[in-house]
Amino acid sequence: MERTPLGLLFVAAGGFLGAVARHGVDVAVGVSTGAGTLVVNVVGSFALGLLVSRATTTRTQLFVGTGVLSSFTTYSTFVGDAVALGGPLGAAYVAASYTLGFAAALGGLLIGGRS
């Protein structure tokens, strides 16, 4: 990875955009339902699969992967949502999140030409 001030700038700029996009999804879908977290994690999984297949430069990987996607997706909120849902509903949410996330990542890899 590029360990330079410019590399840091790529990560920071991407992180800003990812965080703003994440907030936009939460506002559009609804923060309290857990659906926003599911949406961003599935979309982020797809995008990461596509990025792994198509990224041609380290700077693209830094900006999109480490910056945008790392602040767009979240594991901690996913766990919090699952616990808040509790019992069977929380377990179903975890199962759906993993199933859809892996399927989306595979879809991104396939569309990107790598499987």
- pLDDT tens, residue by residue, 79-89: 888 988 999 99
- Write out pLDDT tens, residues 11-50: 999 999 999 999 999 889 876 667 889 999 999 999 999 9
**Which residue has tokens 């979240």?**
74
75 has pLDDT over 90: no
Q: What is the pTM of this model?
A: 0.85
> Is the C-alpha dihedral spanning 81, 82, 85, 90 positive or negative?
positive
